[in-house]
Structure 1
Amino acid sequence: MIKRLVVIFSFLIFAIGCTGSSQVSPLDTKRSFPLQTGSGSNPKVILLVIDSLMDKSLNKAIEDGKAPALEFLKKNGQYSTELVSSYPTMSVTIDSSLITGTYPDQHKIPGLVWFDDKERRIITYGNGLFEILKLGVSDFAKNGLYEYNNKDLSSNVKTIHEDLDDAGFKTASINALIYRGNHPHTLKVPGFISAAAKLPDEIQTMGPETLSLGVFSRENQENHHIVNRIGLNDSFAAEELIYLLKTNTLPSFTILYLPENDFTVHRKGPSTIKGIEDADKQLQNVLNSFPDWNDALDNLVWVVMGDSNQSIVKSNKKEALIDLRKELSEYNILELGEAVRPKDEIVITANERMAYLYILKEDIQLRQMAEKLQKESRISWIAWKDNEGINVISPDHQGELIFQPGGPYKDQYHQTWSVKGNIDILDMKVKENTISFGNYPDALARLYGAAESQKGRFLITDAKPGYEFIGESSPEHSGGGAHGSMHKADSMVPLIVSGTDKSIENLRIVDLKDWIIEVIQR
């Protein structure tokens, strides 16, 4: 999923000679070393996140014999296609929900790109080369390497690393960009990066006891997979996990992030299996580290998941791309890289198939702008918050929907709501005060999470399947795949669980943290 911070410093990928797709690491297969995973009283959990892993392409790869490792784990475990992602369905927000067990109203990471009302500037964690260059490479680099974990992620929530460490369990993070923990670490910034991005040679951060992050921090000093995307690649991640297994230092919980499938899907569309095939080769290397693959299930719990789906974007750019600058051309729009000027009226931050639109002038009403966007038939709905709650209108439906937490209605996740108006806007049904969801799974909690993720006056808008928002210099994926929306086409991801029969009550990414902690502490 997403351009994972465009793999931190995407502008440098070309300068350092990207090597292309993942290659199988030159590792000895069937290594013999003293694994002791079965000797402890508590199981160890390995959480493997494959960016943009999707059910149809996964099963196609398995059917074609291209994913034997994933097939092995799937056959020896439980499988679901209905794990609900966070919203927006962009990696930074999803990662924050995964690691904190909360939606953005609590963890406060609104999206890949957003506008900080207090600092009066656009924050980007990496949404395309040209957007990064305009907003400032130095700011982008600082956001990704320091502020994301140490400032922007709310201190009012705890990560899985912090909670497990407090309970006496060691944890590890391998190439996950959100990793906050209780232990101080020093990220080593290579000279060519520190010079280009105006960064210090060393950056202090807080993480789990074991922190691997590409070229910036690695456990295995002989891990040389750092040329391709400065180590933020599948080969590097797999080698780090193998090192933990080989040295018998695997902690109670390890999160391992494999990013490269996302890049392939963005370019070639959701039907491609090339990225899954490459990721599976790295997983094969990991499983080959055991005397037998079945040994990998001995007191180890494997959780393999996608973070979001990608849906097809129409190939005709004129039809597929919703240019919000044109839709709102009567307003003065803040230009990327510029300070907010007295004349600026709105800010556009496009997150692929969703967007935040910020209103800077008090005389411009939220409803006024929402009704202008309502004329665009490629938009699914537009939402904003006011004293009544969260308001939602749509080009396809009359009236509006207004909701807020607490009230007589309960959904399948045991959340209660006050709801009035046209529930068809979010494709919901109500029977005997029980809410069920259609095209927008967990719609109320997810939209509420986005609406309360930040301060300021703003709209949230979602594109229909097949379409994507663009603003100034934002990337586009016509003819390929994109995500970001709340629609189930972007939101339902596969989940494989091997090594435990403990059920998950609510199949949502936001619920995995507590489930994993329960598995480890049993």
Structure 2
Amino acid sequence: MIYRLIILVFLSILLIIGFSHHGAKNERSSPIVLQTKDSASPKVVLLVIDSLMDKPLKKAIQEDKAPALEFFLKHGLYSKELVSSYPTMSVTIDSTLITGTNPDKHKIPGLVWFKEDEQRIISYGNGFFETLKYGVPEFAQNSLFQFNNVDLDSNVKTIHEELDNNGVQTASINALIYRGNYKHTLKIPKFLAKTTPLPDQYQTKGPKILSFGDLIRLDPKNNHVINRLGLNDAFAAQELKYLLKNDVLPEFTILYMPENDHAVHRKGPMTTKGIEKLDKHLQEVLNAYPKWENALDTIIWIIIGDGNQSAVKKNKKEALIDLREALSDYNVLKLGEPVRNKDEVVITANERMAYVYKINNDFSIKDIANKLQTDSRIAWIAWKKNDMVQVISGRHKGTFQFKPGGSYKDVYDQTWDIKGNRAILDLKIDGNHHISYRNYPDGLARLYGALHSQKGDFLIVDAKPGYEFIGESSPEHAGGGAHGSMHKDDSLTPMIVTGTDKSIDHLRIVDLKRWILDVLEGDIKQIN
């Protein structure tokens, strides 16, 4: 038993791959338009750098510590205001990225959430201690099979599925969400399969070319598998080099590099350590060409962050909002345990936002909201009532209500029916019913998407900058960086594009799929 426990702990360390995942000074009255130089390039590489942020990126470049990223920036156009998905956690963001939909359509609500029909908490890997409580086999099942093959809604098409249906080959390297039309086998390393309850393999569906660490790789000589079973930057870069050197790079490739996120969580948003490290791997990719400029000849490079991180205050007592304390009057479901008749509330903290579920009929969701409203560290609280979203705040009086449709139009040409105190979500509305977003970019659509991402009676709490939610065994980032919130400090991320003249009018992650399809296929019709 002791030996098995040691193995399980070791496996947890290897498998917890950081799925947490993951502001403009001047107010804008219209979306940003990004347009770059003309190119006849037939191929696209989408490089997703976890928690890439404008200020540390610029700092690393100014200090000559990121020559590869500087090269791409100099040969393309740059924006620091790509709007992320919500919650700003990697699993939800990446689901939005490859489906072109918000969580109300793709149905991945966050890193941790409560699945009503199964009466259990779903976790895709929220820290070491939380994972131990759920159990490694359940975590592995969720993240290696259920994530892509069950939870990601089958009614939406991924970019891999859509391109393949139109005869365009794609690849995915270390991306968390990769569902495609082809069957693949993820093989658990033998020493783990023999010493743990894990099966030898998992069946999954992905693009024709799929690489996911040591579980399935392209380059048989890729030995960067010790660190997180190959789910690291060095492994990803070598897999891309393998495709390039063997001249088998498909028309579209998505490459995910996670390690910058880990550095930012530890050291805070201004650290450049993660950027410097990943840039060395990008230099290795560029060095595969006779000259770096040759990398631009046949490939459109799209480099994005998946979201921002904001600083968490150093004082733990002040910085960490323990939702168990705030809801101590209720019986809270314990992690890893089945729901009991006496359980009343479920807490799933996603760093700077959290879902709180009511699983007992003896009180209302508004009762929970009223208790949380007294905490000055919470920016706002939202839930569904009939067909309207309800939002309250301890800072502002009254309630703000909204739903799609109506006479108000925002900068993304979305229409809304709104009532109440608009200051709660920091909206600016002019005399023509035109909505501008300030602290919460695309706030109405993103909040609506999160609240309609799942079944059940629940609310969302969103923290003010500087604070983070915790529940039982949640990871803590006091003195470091965290994300999850809808605030612009967590939501705006950089984007570099080279080699295409296709403009993107709405600079949001939810719009990138449609734009990439247009880049690759011109007038291809969306497949629903």
CA distance in 2, matches of 1:521, 1:327: 52
Is the Cα contact below 8 Å between 1:388 and 1:402 reproduced in 2? no
1:26 corresponding residue in structure 2: none
1:231 corresponding residue in structure 2: 230
How much is the aligned-residue C-alpha RMSD, in angstroms?
1.5
- Report the CA distance shift for 1:125/1:41 in structure 2 as closer, same or farther (over 3 A): same
Give a deviation string over 1:402-435, Cα, whole Å, max 9, x none: 1001111111111111100000000001111111
SS of residue paired to 2:214: helix
Give the letter aligned to residue 511 of structure 2: D
CA distance in 2, matches of 1:12, 1:275: 24
Deviation at 1:42, TM superposition (A): 5.6
Give a deviation string over 1:105-136, Cα, whole Å, max 9, x none: 00000000000000000000010111111111
Is the Cα contact below 8 Å between 1:45 and 1:253 reproduced in 2? yes
Give a deviation string over 1:192-238, Cα, whole Å, max 9, x none: 33345522212111000100000000111111111111100000000
The range that moved more, 501-510 or 158-167, is 501-510
2:23 corresponding residue in structure 1: none
Deviation at 1:188, TM superposition (A): 1.1
2:360 corresponding residue in structure 1: 361
With the length of structure 1 as denominator, give the TM-score of the two structures: 0.92
Give the letter aligned to residue 249 of structure 1: V
Deviation at 1:366, TM superposition (A): 1.1
Give the letter aligned to residue 441 of structure 1: P
- Report the CA distance shift for 1:440/1:195 in structure 2 as closer, same or farther (over 3 A): farther
Deviation at 1:13, TM superposition (A): 6.5
**Runs of at least 5 residues in structure 2 that lack an aligned partner in the other structure:** 1-7, 18-38, 523-528
CA distance in 1, matches of 2:97, 2:233: 20
1:5 corresponding residue in structure 2: none
Give the letter aligned to residue 237 of structure 1: A
2:473 corresponding residue in structure 1: 473
1:142 corresponding residue in structure 2: 141
Give a deviation string over 1:256-290, Cα, whole Å, max 9, x none: 00000000000000110010000100000001111
Give a deviation string over 1:271-325, Cα, whole Å, max 9, x none: 1001000010000000111111111111310000100100000000000000000
- Report the CA distance shift for 1:417/1:256 in structure 2 as closer, same or farther (over 3 A): same
SS of residue paired to 2:308: coil
1:100 corresponding residue in structure 2: 99
1:399 corresponding residue in structure 2: 398
CA distance in 1, matches of 2:483, 2:300: 29
**Runs of at least 5 residues in structure 1 that lack an aligned partner in the other structure:** 1-8, 19-39
2:22 corresponding residue in structure 1: none
CA distance in 1, matches of 2:180, 2:109: 21
- Report the CA distance shift for 1:341/1:13 in structure 2 as closer, same or farther (over 3 A): closer
Is the Cα contact below 8 Å between 2:243 and 2:249 reproduced in 1? yes
Is the Cα contact below 8 Å between 2:357 and 2:459 reproduced in 1? yes
Give the letter aligned to residue 476 of structure 1: E
Give the letter aligned to residue 114 of structure 1: W
Is the Cα contact below 8 Å between 2:9 and 2:132 reproduced in 1? no
Asked if 1:113 is matched to 2:108, the reply is no
Asked if 1:295 is matched to 2:294, the reply is yes
Give a deviation string over 1:64-84, Cα, whole Å, max 9, x none: 000000000001001001000
1:156 corresponding residue in structure 2: 155
2:456 corresponding residue in structure 1: 456
Counting only pairs closer than 5 Å after superposition, residues 303-382 of structure 1 correspond to structure 2 as 303-382=302-381
- Report the CA distance shift for 1:449/1:396 in structure 2 as closer, same or farther (over 3 A): same
- Report the CA distance shift for 1:419/1:11 in structure 2 as closer, same or farther (over 3 A): farther
1:32 corresponding residue in structure 2: none
Counting only pairs closer than 5 Å after superposition, residues 18-417 of structure 1 correspond to structure 2 as 43-195=42-194, 198-417=197-416
CA distance in 2, matches of 1:196, 1:383: 45
Give a deviation string over 1:323-374, Cα, whole Å, max 9, x none: 0000000000001111000000000000000000000111211111101110
Give a deviation string over 1:379-423, Cα, whole Å, max 9, x none: 000000010410000010000101001111111111111100000
- Report the CA distance shift for 1:455/1:184 in structure 2 as closer, same or farther (over 3 A): same
- Report the CA distance shift for 1:365/1:153 in structure 2 as closer, same or farther (over 3 A): same
SS of residue paired to 1:215: coil
- Report the CA distance shift for 1:276/1:332 in structure 2 as closer, same or farther (over 3 A): same
Is the Cα contact below 8 Å between 2:41 and 2:499 reproduced in 1? no
CA distance in 2, matches of 1:221, 1:153: 30
Is the Cα contact below 8 Å between 1:13 and 1:230 reproduced in 2? no
Give the letter aligned to residue 396 of structure 2: H
Is the Cα contact below 8 Å between 1:355 and 1:461 reproduced in 2? yes
1:31 corresponding residue in structure 2: none
Asked if 1:504 is matched to 2:468, the reply is no
Percent identical residues: 65
CA distance in 2, matches of 1:333, 1:66: 47
- Report the CA distance shift for 1:373/1:85 in structure 2 as closer, same or farther (over 3 A): same
SS of residue paired to 1:403: strand
SS of residue paired to 1:496: strand
SS of residue paired to 1:118: helix
Is the Cα contact below 8 Å between 2:380 and 2:393 reproduced in 1? yes
2:24 corresponding residue in structure 1: none
CA distance in 2, matches of 1:362, 1:105: 25
CA distance in 2, matches of 1:498, 1:281: 20
CA distance in 2, matches of 1:15, 1:486: 30
Asked if 1:518 is matched to 2:508, the reply is no
Runs (4+) of structure 1 exceeding 6 A deviation are none
SS of residue paired to 2:375: coil
Give the letter aligned to residue 133 of structure 1: L
Give the letter aligned to residue 469 of structure 1: F
Is the Cα contact below 8 Å between 1:11 and 1:129 reproduced in 2? no
With the length of structure 2 as denominator, give the TM-score of the two structures: 0.91
- Count of aligned residue pairs for this structure pair: 492
Is the Cα contact below 8 Å between 1:42 and 1:520 reproduced in 2? no
Give the letter aligned to residue 43 of structure 1: P
SS of residue paired to 1:83: strand
